[in-house]
Structure 1
């Protein structure tokens, strides 16, 4: 990571100053603005339909979000949520011939894709606004009647294994896999989106059908339509095309996702690879949005303050030259989101850099460590970026889909308001509850020669404590 330069800092400072001035108007206006452009309806079969009006260009993004993903995976299903995502675009009862679905998507002039994350799988098409009915019909065909043909499964299996191979070839793959297995004891499969190679290679159409029957039901899904549309027209079309999609049993009542057990002790991982810099990852179990939503807002402000180039944290670690770069992050999830501090340093600076980082972590609850003016600036910056996100219909659909699945739409609607309420005492309370003195997993990715020169062992990493 390149060293910060004065012009970059001046630019960042200007952005924060301007956004700070805008905070009161943006924070109070967000919910009102969202309520103007977002309309919701729940169909009799439980399908949630969310419509966002944006008449900037004559396009529309149609997105289906399903509460599926790695969090639903037992070890014998590890990676199959992602494989199912690939099969979605294959043969179904309406388009039974090979590549017929893809051909129809092309006829509509659409751009389509999908993604699998820990707690949501989404499928989306962007197409001309006058083709909305045909686009909904296309998605409906894949949702209601997939065929899971054996030859297509074989083909998509190899595509997914190709993705697995590319991930595995990355120097960071081993360390992140090992750290996740330690951070989530006994529940690694529920955080492992890419999955298990042998499970992917041995799966069957029957397993695909079991995922469909359990999770691909209307009362576990949402349709989000964003763009140049009329909400009433959208509600009518979606009900006509998906109103006969059969409601199913709530998958999380019959088979609830087990809670992630808390860490009871620190753990350490060292991975060797032919890398230049030394990469360090420190992770804690963070809040779950369903159990401690207040802490998730504090977590975002906390991370933003520490990532501000002018923060004490960055000045002590990055500006001192000990670290090439340091980043603090909390990933919001309903089932224990991780808190991560990641950074890169040189082998020569490694020990001094680690000591400096440990010293800073220990000060997170020190009076005066966080300045109220810093909070005002970063909260304003979040409000501004949230407002910009709404300008692009396709990106906004993805944002709404993620929050619908991980939390709920109300969480997103109140996000900026709740961010604005966070205080220095909230940040300190968050650090006490989730970071300072709490069990964590520390990982280091380092060149074998550098490790030998340092004589680095896991015990060395265990020596740092809050």
Structure 2
């Protein structure tokens, strides 16, 4: 009884001391802290269920790779589950998580972060924080376990060679980011994986798995000051290296002097439908943060099924787009790989090109009985450039009926819905923290509210108007066989598993892919 009382009093005193460290946020129930070593903590209180979500994230992954380190972050993520100072091996590690009543233990390596998480009973939140502290700070990296895990990671990489979605994505990244495609490929380079050693992974840990490059996200039926007292107790002695290396941007932003035209033969595609997609480089969270708000507003405006963008394409009978649901736009916020997309799905029929249904909307008068898929893809790009993009620069039309105000309200409503649960709040915050920093998340609503019509027009002029990019046409095997001559004559290159992945044609300058690891970089502020 006495020890329980002492423990409660200790926590209460620590909570009082911790209170002054809390930073207020614009979101009710969400609190933020920063330890002296730079470790950031975000706590979302929600007592709907007696559970606590705990995540630790590191600003690393594909974004911090070079060709000589590509895949090490993915491999290291796997090794985090293979034992540490407290849990001798993977079995002990899993037993420890199960003893905590974990629900969804997992880890992931993405473009902008590596993160580890689980959900446990909220009365075990201190033990959960301690569990991840041992995992992050004292990984065992056993040599035999590493050899076993190399095989797993290599199987994942080679498995992607037969996955249509992975093949297409790899080809897009290789074409859109030719200077550094590895910054968009967290899976890795097989040669790097094969040569990995425990010492190399410990170097990754020393450079990236440091408090000033990491953040904790805790949510659920918890008290924010109590969580902070635990974090301070467990993580305060976690030290940074004496000379942390700053984050390194790609050597140059990729620019294009012509469009790259690709055709992807998808075995699961319908022969009656042609998928079209055109991608451009968009603003990056690291260097163009202010433009990302205009990008989000633009994407929502352009995606309006009754808006000018959809009407422009639906008024072109030659394109045979069934309805507004078959056309759209996108913008993906990323630290150094922001991208803009235009999409359409068109029917593959054989109507005569001069039939009355085609009217006068055609941009180009092909001298064919009908538009074959290759011609239709070129037509999509022509209409985009000659009609749709200029229409976006017409204030009276693109923003008709106060469209920008409705869009900003929709973005705000979507944000409110997103913040309904503690886990959803923290997942969104973790992603923003990695790509743009925590302030981006906390000031998003205010910055969206400031976007005006001129900002959107400037965004279109800066990132879309007169810009070259990557056009990908997805067709079924039957359509490819019938029209491959047309595609090749019109300058399309076929995507294959052999040419899609950057590392399948990469030739290292030396035989040892891991040398000069010090050239890698980390964000430590």
Establish whether TM, by shorter chain, passes 0.5: yes
Task: Mark the CA change 1:166 to 1:327 in structure 2 (over 3 Å): closer, same or farther.
Answer: farther
Q: Is the 8 A contact 1:287 1:296 kept in 2?
A: yes
Partner SS, residue 83 of structure 1 = helix
Q: Which residue of 2 aligns with 1:441?
A: 470
Q: Which residue of 2 aligns with 1:106?
A: 98
Runs of 5+ in structure 2 lacking a partner?
1-22, 350-370, 493-525
> After the TM superposition, which of the residue ranges 211-220 and 347-356 deviates more from structure 2?
347-356
In the alignment, does 2:258 pair up with 1:262? no
Shift of 1:148: 1.0
Alignment RMSD: 2.4
Structure 1 residue ranges, 4+ long, deviating more than 6 angstroms after superposition: none
Task: Mark the CA change 1:279 to 1:196 in structure 2 (over 3 Å): closer, same or farther.
Answer: farther
- CA shift digits 1:326-383 (9 cap, x unpaired): 2311111221411122333334464346244443234322343412522222211211
- CA shift digits 1:235-283 (9 cap, x unpaired): 1101111111121256442x62334423132222223343323322211
In the alignment, does 2:127 pair up with 1:134? yes
- Measured in 1, the distance between the counterparts of 2:410 and 2:29 equals 22
In the alignment, does 2:486 pair up with 1:456? yes
In the alignment, does 2:205 pair up with 1:212? yes
Equivalent pairs, count: 431
In the alignment, does 2:175 pair up with 1:182? yes
Task: Mark the CA change 1:265 to 1:175 in structure 2 (over 3 Å): closer, same or farther.
Answer: farther
Q: Is the 8 A contact 1:175 1:445 kept in 2?
A: no
Shift of 1:62: 0.9
Q: Given the alignment, which residue of 390, 394, 398 partners 2:427?
A: 398
- Measured in 2, the distance between the counterparts of 1:347 and 1:140 equals 56
- CA shift digits 1:17-40 (9 cap, x unpaired): xxxxxxxxxxxxxx9973542222
Task: Mark the CA change 1:376 to 1:259 in structure 2 (over 3 Å): closer, same or farther.
Answer: farther
Q: Which residue of 2 aligns with 1:323?
A: 321
- CA shift digits 1:169-192 (9 cap, x unpaired): 222333322221121122111111
Shift of 1:459: 6.5
Partner SS, residue 77 of structure 1 = coil
Shift of 1:220: 0.6
In the alignment, does 2:43 pair up with 1:37? no
- Measured in 1, the distance between the counterparts of 2:339 and 2:470 equals 11
Q: Which residue of 2 aligns with 1:408?
A: 437
Partner SS, residue 392 of structure 2 = coil
Q: TM-score by structure 2 length?
A: 0.76
Q: Is the 8 A contact 1:442 1:461 kept in 2?
A: no
Task: Mark the CA change 1:46 to 1:85 in structure 2 (over 3 Å): closer, same or farther.
Answer: same
- CA shift digits 1:60-90 (9 cap, x unpaired): 1111110101011111221222222121111
Q: TM-score by structure 1 length?
A: 0.86
Partner SS, residue 457 of structure 1 = helix
1:222-241 correspondence to structure 2 within 5 Å: 222-241=215-234
Runs of 5+ in structure 1 lacking a partner?
1-30
Q: Which residue of 2 aligns with 1:283?
A: 279
- Measured in 2, the distance between the counterparts of 1:328 and 1:166 equals 30
- Measured in 2, the distance between the counterparts of 1:250 and 1:365 equals 48
1:131-210 correspondence to structure 2 within 5 Å: 131-210=124-203
- Measured in 1, the distance between the counterparts of 2:448 and 2:30 equals 21
- Measured in 1, the distance between the counterparts of 2:289 and 2:491 equals 32
In the alignment, does 2:300 pair up with 1:304? yes
- Measured in 1, the distance between the counterparts of 2:51 and 2:280 equals 42
Task: Mark the CA change 1:371 to 1:261 in structure 2 (over 3 Å): closer, same or farther.
Answer: closer
- Measured in 2, the distance between the counterparts of 1:312 and 1:198 equals 49
Task: Mark the CA change 1:343 to 1:128 in structure 2 (over 3 Å): closer, same or farther.
Answer: same
- CA shift digits 1:191-241 (9 cap, x unpaired): 112222333333222221121111000111011111111111111101111
Partner SS, residue 310 of structure 1 = coil
- Measured in 2, the distance between the counterparts of 1:271 and 1:172 equals 10
- CA shift digits 1:268-318 (9 cap, x unpaired): 222334332332221111112232222101111111112222222223436
Q: Is the 8 A contact 2:395 2:453 kept in 1?
A: no
